Amino acid sequence: MPAETPKILPDGLTYDDVLLLPAYSKVLPREVEISTQLTRNIRINVPVLSAAMDTVTDWEMAIAMASQGGIGILHKNMSIERQAEAVRRVKRSESGLIIDPVTMQADQTIGQALQIMKEHKIGGIPIVNHDHILVGILTNRDLRFEKNMKRKISEVMTKDRLVTAPEGMDLKKAEGILQDYKVEKLPVVDKKGKLKGLITYRDILKLKSHPNACKDQFGRLLVGAAVGVTSDMLDRISALIHNGVDVVCIDTAHGHSHGVLESVKKVKKAFKKLEVIAGNVATKEGAIALAEAGADAVKVGVGPGSICTTRIVTGAGVPQLTAIMEAAKGLKKFTVPLIADGGIRYTGDIVKAIAAGADTVMAGSLFAGVEESPGKPSVLKDASLNLTGEWVLLKPCRKVLKTVISRMRKMISGNWCRKVLWVEFRLKAH
């Protein structure tokens, strides 16, 4: 007969229960390399993800996170169309080469063009014919003094002596052309004149101002999106992939379950090249099960989040540091990264999570309320903190991440990471 599992397990540890043991080091904080694997095939420059919560990550937060070297996971509490559009916005926000630029045709009106420019927050639109041959370009400069909104685009667009670039041109040469001709948009065309992409001077400037940004092979910001185990899961993922999502997260409260494991297998079979994060689990066995099902990263954490009620409602969970250490043991024989999800209150908690075996951490409360998080800003009128359901406007996400990165580098340079965890047991009330 198998041995009976003990009902009371040994003490579990969370972040507040431990300190990292300092050690001798010659490394300076600025010399510390903190890039890491998010999934089997995706690497990010800062080991931090913003949580897939509707109070934390929408498209604006995802842009801010990727620009600073991390990645945002778009929440799933929205329609398939809206989530796919959020992915599209992130992908269009910054790109070395926009491979699917917004286009219009010459017989459309100026009013329609202005509406599209406002909707997509762009200052220029390539104009093509029915065969997608470039015939002109319409910019803010062409529209500045136009009052007749019913006028045809063909009457005002720039169509003579168009400045274009051939396929395969690198950004350095493209920058030179933009500067020489004093234009801000450079359409990329093939030998037949078909539009293949668009290079903008604004994106080149962003490349210089955000050197640490996480980007895909086309120079677009990385973005992830959460999905649930639902009947329309594959339809949602298909729409996300169509708009360029880099990774999806099968996001559940209990990842070590038949439904989640089968969903991972189903998604990996249907979308073989897609990177899939799966979770959440809190045990060695749960982490192994997800890795064997095909997950490209495992998310660990059942109930440690500041507003998570899983432990309260269900009575289930594992103290977060112990959960990370146990899951890390299970994933040793796999090339599957571990994401520590929840419980991050201080920057030191991030380093403790990495020391315990995590590759990255996911945080929610760290970013909730910054400028880029969803919700409307509210002005505090008095000390009662009556916010009427709105969010207080705090600092930009980039400042939060800058502080996190700086403190992490200081801690890691002290040779504290992946060293001895010094247990500081708190006094217990008797």
Average pLDDT over residues 260-265: 97
Decide: 194 and 131 in contact? Cβ < 8 Å: yes
Q: How many residues does the chain have?
A: 430
**Shared domain check, 296 and 256:** yes
What is the C-alpha separation between 393 and 374, in angstroms, rounded? Answer: 11
> Looking at the predicted structure, is the pLDDT value of residue 428 above 50?
no
What does the pLDDT average to over 139-168? 88
Average pLDDT of 19-40?
88
| 8: in domain | no
For residue 45, give Cα distances in angstroms to 32, 38, 110, 188: 12, 10, 42, 30
Q: For residue 45, what pLDDT band results from cuts at 50, 70 and 90?
A: very high
Q: What is the CATH number of the domain that holds 333?
A: 3.20.20.70
For residue 353, pLDDT beyond 50: yes
Q: Which of 40-49, 64-73, 141-150 has the lowest mean pLDDT?
A: 141-150
Indicate whether 9 belongs to any domain.
Answer: no
Look at residue 429 and tell me if it is in a domain: no
Q: Is the pLDDT of residue 317 over 60?
A: yes
Contact 240, 84 (CB under 8 A): yes
Distance CA 253, CA 281 (A): 8
Amino acid symbol at 61:
M
Domain count, the chain: 2
144 in a structural domain: yes
The last residue of one of the domains, among 159, 188, 209, is 209
Whether 95 has a pLDDT exceeding 90, the answer reads: no
Q: Predicted confidence band at 73 (pLDDT cuts at 50, 70, 90)?
A: very high
Task: Kindly report whether the peptide bond that precedes residue 280 is cis, defined as omega within 30 degrees of 0.
Answer: yes
Looking at 209, 226, 247, the residue that finishes a domain is: 209
- The lowest-confidence range among 18-22, 49-53, 416-420 is 416-420
Domain end call among 174, 209, 244: 209
Per-residue confidence at 395, pLDDT binned at 50, 70, 90? Answer: low
Confidence band (pLDDT; 50, 70, 90) for 25?
A: confident
Kindly report which listed range (91-100, 118-127, 207-216, 361-370) carries the lowest average pLDDT score: 91-100
CATH code: domain of residue 143: 3.10.580.10
Say how far apart CA 86 and CA 375 lie, in whole Å.
Answer: 15
pTM of the model: 0.80
Task: Tell me, yes or no, whether 228 lies in a domain.
Answer: yes
The 10 Å Cβ neighbour count of residue 119 is 9
pLDDT band at 421 (very low <50, low <70, confident <90, very high): very low
- Looking at the fold, whether 117 and 232 belong to one and the same domain comes out as no
Rounded CA-CA distance 90/231 in Å is 26
Predicted local confidence at residue 310, as pLDDT: 76
**Is residue 120 classed exposed, middle or buried when 0-12, 13-18 and 19+ CB atoms within 10 A define those classes?**
middle
Q: What domain range includes position 402?
A: 15-94+212-423
> Rounded CA gap, 359 and 340, in Å?
8
Residue with tokens 């502080």: 403
Mean pLDDT, to the nearest integer, of 32-38?
92
Residue 412 or 365, more confident:
365
pLDDT surpassing 60 at residue 415: no
Residue 285 shares a structural domain with residue 388: yes
Do residues 124 and 140 share a domain? Answer: yes
Quickly state the pLDDT bin for 429 (edges 50, 70, 90): very low
- Shared domain check, 284 and 151: no
pLDDT tens digits for range 189-242: 998 999 998 888 887 887 777 888 999 988 889 999 999 999 999 999 999 999
Q: Name residue, tokens 């997509």.
A: 120
The verdict on 343 and 398 lying in the same domain is yes
pLDDT for position 9: 67
In the chain, % of residues over pLDDT 90: 53
- Reported confidence tier of residue 304, pLDDT bands at 50, 70, 90: confident
Residue 51 — very low, low, confident or very high, per pLDDT cuts 50/70/90? very high
Answer yes or no: do 76 and 224 share one domain: yes
Mean pLDDT of the chain: 85
Q: Does one domain contain both 238 and 355?
A: yes
Q: Are 236 and 352 within one domain? A: yes
- Are 171 and 275 in the same domain? no
pLDDT digits (tens, 9 = 90+) for 332-342: 999 999 999 98
Q: Is residue 151 part of a domain?
A: yes
Handedness of CA 408, 412, 416, 421 (dihedral sign): positive
pLDDT greater than 50 at residue 383: no
Residues 371 and 255 grouped into a single domain: yes
Residue located via tokens 């897609």: 274
Which residue type is seen at 223? V
Give CA–CA dist 407/65, Å, rounded: 17
152/156 Cα distance (integer angstroms): 7
Mean pLDDT, residues 409-416 taken together? 62
Residue of 370, 399, 67, 362 lying closest to 222 (CA atoms): 67
Tell me whether residue 396 is in a domain.
Answer: yes
Residues 58 and 77 in one domain: yes
Report the 3 state secondary structure along the chain: CCCCCCCCCCCCCCHHHEEECCCCCCCCHHHCCCCEECCCCCEECCCEEECCCCCCCCHHHHHHHHHCCCEEEECCCCCHHHHHHHHHHHHHHCCCCECCCCCECCCCEHHHHHHHHHHHCCCEEEEECCCCEEEEEEEHHHHCCCCCCCCEHHHCCECCCCCCEECCCCHHHHHHHHHHHCCCEEEEECCCCEEEEEEEHHHHHHHHHCCCCCECCCCCECCEEEECCCCCHHHHHHHHHHCCCCEEEEECCCCCCHHHHHHHHHHHHHCCCCEEEEEEECCHHHHHHHHHHCCCEEEECCCCCCCCCHHHHHCCCCCHHHHHHHHHHHHCCCCCCEEEECCCCCHHHHHHHHHHCCCEEEECCCCCCCCCCCCCEECCCCCCCCCCCCEECCCCHHHHHHHHHHHHHHHHHCCCCCCCEEECCCCCCC
Most confident of 53-67, 164-178, 303-317: 53-67
Please state the rounded mean pLDDT for residues 148-155: 92
Q: Is residue 191 in a domain?
A: yes
Q: Which of 176-185, 205-214, 372-381: highest mean pLDDT?
A: 176-185
What pLDDT is recorded for position 4?
65
Query: How far is the CA of 303 from the CAs of 14, 225, 376, in angstroms?
Result: 12, 21, 28
